[in-house]
Amino acid sequence: MILLRLFWEFFKTGLFAVGGGMATLPFLRDIGIRTGWFTQQKLADMIAVSESTPGPIGVNMATYVGFETAGVPGAVVATLGLICPSIIIILLIARVLKQFRSNQTVDAVFYGLRPCSIALIAAAGLMVAKLTFLNSDSAGAGIAGLLNWKAVLLGAVLLVLTRRIKPLKKLHPVVFIAASAVVGIVFAF
């Protein structure tokens, strides 16, 4: 039964997540909240692993969530669920590729979908940020105690490194993830 539900949840994700791997994130967040299969914190860890291992992020995340939920069969079923809509849709479009690319209705739909897609990613990202930068047990500690200062500092450094320093901008995310892991262990995050 859980396998059937996994397949269905990931089928929906594959059908409605537009804009590549990261676009699956809001759907995974939604699945986590509704089913209780995994926490938001666990989801953030799964993103990290998915970014640092070979394979497309969207597929990696589906496999991971599936595995966490129902072991190896879960991993297989979630991944198949995710790719099923793609296969069906692309096989249909491949027959009429030229018309599809110049179709005005298709263009209009995606004009509305693009800002929606990044807003959903941003909202999911803010959820992860809330878990990461705010202390959960800060009752009565005031504003200074509310923020996790180590995390804020590391975030600021990473932001500057990934956006402002030219030679570092082109580096693969796995480099920053690995560096963060080392910082986390050394400074006991």
Partner 1 sequence: MKLLSLFLSFARVGVLTFGGGYAMIPILEREIVDRQGWASSEELMDYYAVGQCTPGVIAVNTATFIGYKVAGNLGGVAATLGVVFPSLVIITLIAGILTNFADIPAVKSAFSAIRVCVCVLIFNAVLKLWKSAVKDRPALVIFILVLGLSMFFNISPVVFVLFCGAAGIALTRLGLRGK
Residues 43-72 that bind partner 1 (CB under 8 A): 44-45, 47-51, 53-60, 63-64, 67-68, 72
Binding characters for partner 1, 129-148, by CB under 8 A (x = yes): x-xxx---------------
Binding residues for partner 1, total number by CB under 8 A: 103
In the list 143, 163, 164, 167, the residue contacting partner 1 (rule: CB under 8 A) is 163
**Is 123 within 8 Å of 26 (Cβ atoms)?**
yes
For residues 45 and 55, what is the distance between their CA atoms, to the nearest angstrom?
17
In the list 14, 38, 70, 81, the residue contacting partner 1 (rule: CB under 8 A) is 14
For residues 43 and 41, what is the distance between their CA atoms, to the nearest angstrom?
5
Cβ-based neighbour number of residue 49 at 10 Å: 12
Question: Which pair of tokens denotes residue 166?
Answer: 């030219």
Please report whether residue 165 would count as binding partner 1 according to CB under 8 A.
no
Q: How far is CA 100 from the centre of its chain?
A: 28
In the list 32, 37, 70, 79, the residue contacting partner 1 (rule: CB under 8 A) is 79
**Is 13 within 8 Å of 82 (Cβ atoms)?**
yes
In the list 8, 39, 107, 168, the residue contacting partner 1 (rule: CB under 8 A) is 107
In the list 91, 139, 143, 144, the residue contacting partner 1 (rule: CB under 8 A) is 91
Question: Which pair of tokens denotes residue 118?
Answer: 């990044």
